[in-house]
Chain A
């Protein structure tokens, strides 16, 4: 057995890991016992692990092809590989999370969103077809509107293996972004600036400083794909060439150093300013991908990312939760605020129209559990939810409150996987079915 954990490095559990090299081996692997698919392990919590069961590492099944603005990709293909091939042809992802090191299967299972959610929705809304290998060994063709489709998008890998996904790409003229940076002194003014940025730009996000005494000051980034004539002349001849990103290995810091490092990072980050700054798309979309294995910064006791969404109108709850997080004895090392457009195609899709805040925090302090439990209750009362792809700690009784369509999903789950073979530590912990 191998020990597995999510990106947050806790909790850990051991499973038999199978790495099927082709579809026949994969079909055999799902033919009995309890299984869960796994991609690049970027879910923060325990979604892609299964104590004592079988974990299917699908990264070996990574073929894809790009044709007429669409990509047909195996579940194990990574978004990084896809954009390496698609950007030179003038196509970008319709939605991308903050790292490109995720697989298509994982991205569908979490129904990932990006900085353009307010305009373009989550990945699921751009998917035309999913080919799903179910527990019965059957290949199901799931199309938008089908129960198997809406249970799989955002379904955390619990309906079967995503063999192949077809999704539409976004045409781009260049591999560059045109970005406006707006600094604001506190959370309410950041929220205002973010709302304004949404009206102008395809992409928007705010980095918040949630250290005590900083009042949630932040920098709003509003970006759009740059056109060729917006580029500096030296890049115009090869506009689709991506600037190479120099990767740095993350240093291993003693646990106590994370807050200091955070303060420094925030100071650097918040000093960024300017209007119409032209920057490489990788810098804009994947700033943390430069720091390989940055999750190790937190040491072996790990960290978590608390990400929740609340509907528009629940701004007061957002502020209260932000204050509670800032007041915790564990400092918030990174915080990102974003506005969501209407919800996604999946029954358990995370986005709801409103706001989402994510906060990275080191694990280890028992008081943090209580603070986050309280935040969960506030979020649930406001009609919000936490993101299952990030979760490693929610208590099961709140799941049906946060995801009121859970029963509908359970019906689909029971139809597609009647004996409940696809399961995970997450599904056990939260009693998802």
Chain B
């Protein structure tokens, strides 16, 4: 469960989440230039749709989050993209809710931004196999962090949610594996066919990207 529904969380948690989300959104919007907007829209659409692909886990079910991938490709621009995607999910599917939008945005977007900052630079220097590994780490890490943030939000709202938080944490394990495979493959795919989509490659100079490309097909 990555979407916390309305009426579960306490008011201070909702307000705190909304404030953090607003700050992130302000910064993220500045990073969202015209060149990156189509990618942001495409990834937001992918995130929106991915929530319908369910992975059954025990009594509950989970869906792909793709927030690690979004972070790697979009960096801070993932925050506004995720806001729109979450808004559409709340309006069209009834997942989450409008009041908890801020908290849900923090839960999904904070791991994405951390992925961009921590894993992004490693992708530039990584070999092809390394690329997959780092992509997988980003995917699994982002999901794990999202799960922890869900637990934190539930635990801060009241001790009666602690059992729920534990169940959430337990169900995130299998999703981490799926997400790692998907994100790793997606990053390798992008690195080979469209390295310019991974923004971390650019600041280091295009030379790095080109050598990776040349090394790709033997």
A pairs with B: no
Residues of chain A at the chain B interface (Cβ within 8 Å): none
